Structure 1
Amino acid sequence: MTETDDTLRNIIQNPTMPNIGRYQILGSLGRGNMGEVFRARDPVIGRMVALKTRRFDLVYEQKDLQFVIDKFFEEARIAGNLVHPNIVTVYDVGQDGDYCFIAMELLEGENLTAFNKEGTLLPQERVADLVKRVCLALDHAHSHGVIHRDIKPANLMFTRDRRIKMTDFGIAMMTRGDNTNDFQVMGTPSYMSPEQTKGLKLTERTDFFSLGVVFFELLTGRRPFQGRTLYELMDNIRYSPAPSVLGYNAKLPPAIDQVIQRALDKEPELRYRSGKQFAEEIDRAMKGHPLTVHDIKGAKKAALLKSVEFFRSFDRREIEEVTQYGTFIRYEPGQVIVREGDVDTTFFVLLAGSVRVIKNKRKITDLTKGACFGEMGAFTKTARTAHVIARQPCVVLKLDLKVLERHSPALKLKIYQVFIETLIQRLEHTTKRLSEQYAPIRQKAKQEPVQEQSTVVATDAQDSEKESLTGVNDPTGKGYRAANDDEPVAGTIDENPDVRTAK
């Protein structure tokens, strides 16, 4: 039992202190993401509310206290601006002494954790309808620049009349501004997106991955990604393909598996563009209608690979493995492909179009078809040193070294070999270019008077020879005279004709 629990229990039991703010505490509803939640009454208008409270001073150090309190009020501001039938309503926010609180709509029904296990599953049509409504609620939140970041069954609750509501924007953040990286490695591990587990910059599509996990779980009674340890769970979320939902519930429409697989794609760019599109595809799948084709066909992938120099030495089997383990992504002009500062084990090959490398808002270079980028950061596991942005509509192959290491070490070795050969070719090209650049200087030096050049060289040689011998290998300190080519030097010549040893 924590000090916070004791303090809050005293509030309830002590008749001289029955309120927090103007709200009368009637009982506990449980612990939420940000603290204790109470059933309370607003005496001004007689409305029952859920009162979410926290004593931050009992949990955080003084130096962090104001920052945390500001985050608490930001949660209330974010949620209070979202007015939607499937998003919980926020009525009030305030502070009473050491207590911060948010008064929100009181939901009398269960959350979806009551329906995510075998034996308690809802009918598939009901599940599809609930997830569609959450999709539209997310569409509304995203249109206001808000990413939820913690979609899970516990944050999806029924009202008394069985309407679904999305709750707890406790770690939600506005997508605008420079603070979007704050608290990124937060959320509930089993429902995190791959980019969320890596601490990368998040977009709205992280919510679609989390909702895809919920969708899978509500239909099968199990989660798509599991692990005996947190590390194993995170590793599976990042690199293991999602299992087919049909393997656990064969009665589902086949197209539903396609919908979930797209939501659970490792690449955010290949998930749904919006909650509205996600909801529409669920509806089409449940009705048996064909879905939107968003992937590049296998034959086209192989042709794209063979059209660039990087893959010319790959045989048919290796090409098939690249298409199996690589991700082919289409980017529109202006879309960011690589972000400066990200740390990842992925690299890219440009299969069509062109991209621009930018650092400190300045152009470094433009890359065209066949170019590779991101390999140094992938190999060394260090932060990316520049942004890479699409200049034209382009197709990019993304390969993850950790995926290759897990599924095809031989393919990984082949790629390393190609990179080494490419590096050697680049060095040869650079050497040749530098040689050509300095050729006019050498030619000009040859055309200068021979006598003047010889005198300078001889003088330098004498000084150098005398300096190197005097006081080093000469115990007399008198020095040695530099020899001409046809005059012997005082000493012996080693078997190595370039090494002379003085006696």
Structure 2
Amino acid sequence: MRFIGSGAFGSVYEALVADHGKVAVKLVNISHSHTSKARLESFKREVDVLSRVKHANVVKLHGACMVPPNVFIVMELLEGSLRDKLDACRRLDYRATLKLANEIASALAYLHPSIVHRDLKPQNILMDASGAAKVADFGVAKFKQSTYLNTTRGNGTPAYMAPESFGSDKISEKADVFSLGMILWECWTGEVPWKEVQIPFQVVMLVGVEKRRPEIPEDCPKQLASLIQRCWDDDPHRRPSCAEVERRTRLLLHELDAPPAPPAASAANASNAAEESQQTIA
């Protein structure tokens, strides 16, 4: 196995499996501490989610072992995360931002009838060799029993979290829509949201109490700026669904890829053409 990276949860390795070729193996550090028990529950939740879904823009699960001390998940091997990509190129152009939005929205629209991710951020968006985005890391995701789901505070990453996630015991899939808006803003600007804020609680005050949002630069295309602002709406009911975001970005991509329309003939050209036609007939 080849070591890829590590974090608080454990380590990730590249391995070769007969039936699947190269895969990513996520090993978890498990002990008898309370933190390790919570980590194990998070991994069980992730396996539960991934075992039920199949979508081109959701990371693929190959297998898992949840019996300590051998706790690991085997997933498709991907090139890196959106975080890695932004660190390397700083920001995305308009077309790349729309493409990313379309792919993430497509995955979320598929998930949202039954699952809310709750921790959408660049680190949890993985990229394959072709540059396609895949939603990953479902450790704090929850299955919906109704329109809203009961949740606990403290789940997610404050810089990308919706205001209702800070102060409500019930949230909907529209919390993921807010997070998507923050990701799109970061892709266009190349800036991490609220990077000037040192304490997470300050983000809670800025977003949840003062209703503030990051400033959208003047060079942001109007259609993208409008989409981001709608995703950021303080009222979850006024935010678009991810199905709507997918349709909108698909249409905008189609407009970019469509060949330019031929210039319309001016009235003078049309008149000259008519006169030449009359002279020819005469």
Q: TM-score range by the shorter chain?
A: 0.7 to 0.9
Q: Specify which of 218, 221, 229 is matched with residue 261 of structure 1.
A: 229
Contact 1:138 1:275 in 2 (8 A): yes
Would you say 1:159 and 2:128 are equivalent positions?
yes
1:220 aligns with 2:189: yes
Q: One-letter code of the match for 2:183?
A: V
- The TM-score normalised by the length of structure 1 is 0.46
1:277 equivalent in structure 2: 244
Q: 1:137 to 1:32 in 2, by over 3 A?
A: farther
The residue that corresponds to 1:485 in the other structure is none
Q: Which residue of structure 1 aligns with residue 268 of structure 2?
A: none
Q: Structure 1, residues 318-360: CA drift from partner, whole Å, max 9, x if none?
A: xxxxxxxxxxxxxxxxxxxxxxxxxxxxxxxxxxxxxxxxxxx
Change (3 A) 1:224 1:236: same
Q: 2: CA distance between counterparts of 1:115 and 1:93?
A: 28
Confirm or deny: 8 A CA contact 1:35 1:53 kept in the other structure.
yes
> Does the CA contact (< 8 Å) of 2:9 and 2:29 recur in 1?
no
Q: 1:242 aligns with which of 213, 226, 231?
A: 213
3-state SS of the aligned residue for 1:102?
strand
Shift, 1:120, TM fit? 2.6
CA distance in 2, matches of 1:58, 1:28: 25
Matched pairs, number: 252
CA distance 1:110–1:46, shift in 2 (3 Å): closer
1:28 aligns with 2:3: yes
Aligned residue in 1 for 2:265:
none
- Change beyond 3 A, Cα 1:48–1:243: closer
Aligned to 1:140: 110
Cα shift at 1:132: 1.0
Deviation at 1:224, TM superposition (A): 4.7
Within 1, Cα distance between the matches of 2:223 and 2:62? 41
Does the CA-based 8 Å contact 1:118-1:220 persist in structure 2?
no
2: distance between equivalents of 1:220 and 1:141?
A: 28
1:53 equivalent in alignment to 2:23: no
Contact 2:174–2:236 (Cα < 8 Å) also in 1: yes
Counterparts in 2 of 1:205 and 1:46: CA distance versus 1, 3 Å = closer
Q: Is the 8 A contact 1:33 1:170 kept in 2?
A: no
Task: Return the offset for 1:126.
Answer: 1.0
Alignment deviations for residues 175-215 of structure 1 (CA, whole Å, 9 cap, x no partner):
127x9434442111211111112253121000010110000
Maintained 8 Å contact 1:225/1:236: no
2:76 aligned with 1:105:
yes
Q: Is the 8 A contact 1:225 1:242 kept in 2?
A: no
Q: Tell me, yes or no, if the aligned pair for 1:246 and 1:254 is still in contact at 8 Å.
A: no
Matched residue, 1:124: 94
CA distance in 2, matches of 1:258, 1:165: 24
Task: Rate the CA distance shift 1:35–1:119 in 2: closer, same or farther, 3 A.
Answer: closer
Q: State whether residues 256 and 285 of structure 1, in contact with CA within 8 Å, keep that contact through their aligned partners in structure 2.
A: no
Does the CA contact (< 8 Å) of 1:80 and 1:90 recur in 2? yes
Code of the residue aligned with 1:231 in structure 2: it is F
Consecutive unaligned residues in structure 1, runs of 5 or more: 1-25, 289-503
Q: Deviation of residue 240 (structure 1)? A: 3.1
- CA RMSD for the aligned pairs? 2.7
**Distance change in 2, residues 1:80/1:34 (3 Å):** farther
What are structure 2's unaligned runs of at least 5 residues?
257-282
TM-score when normalising by structure 2: 0.79
Q: C-alpha distance in 2, partners of 1:74/1:150?
A: 13
Partner SS state of residue 246, structure 1? coil
Cα–Cα, structure 1 residues 180 and 72, in superposed 2: closer, same or farther, change >3 Å?
farther
In structure 2, distance between residues paired with 1:37 and 1:253 = 38
CA contact (8 A) 2:101 2:184 kept: yes
Residue 142 of structure 2 is matched in structure 1 by 173
CA–CA separation in structure 2 for the residues paired with 1:31 and 1:173: 25
Instruction: Write the letter of the residue equivalent to 2:231.
Output: A
Identity of aligned residues (%): 25
* Cα distance change on mapping 1:60 and 1:27 into 2, 3 Å: farther
Contact 1:37 1:52 (8 Å CA) reproduced: yes
Aligned partners of 1:70 and 1:221: how far apart in 2? 34
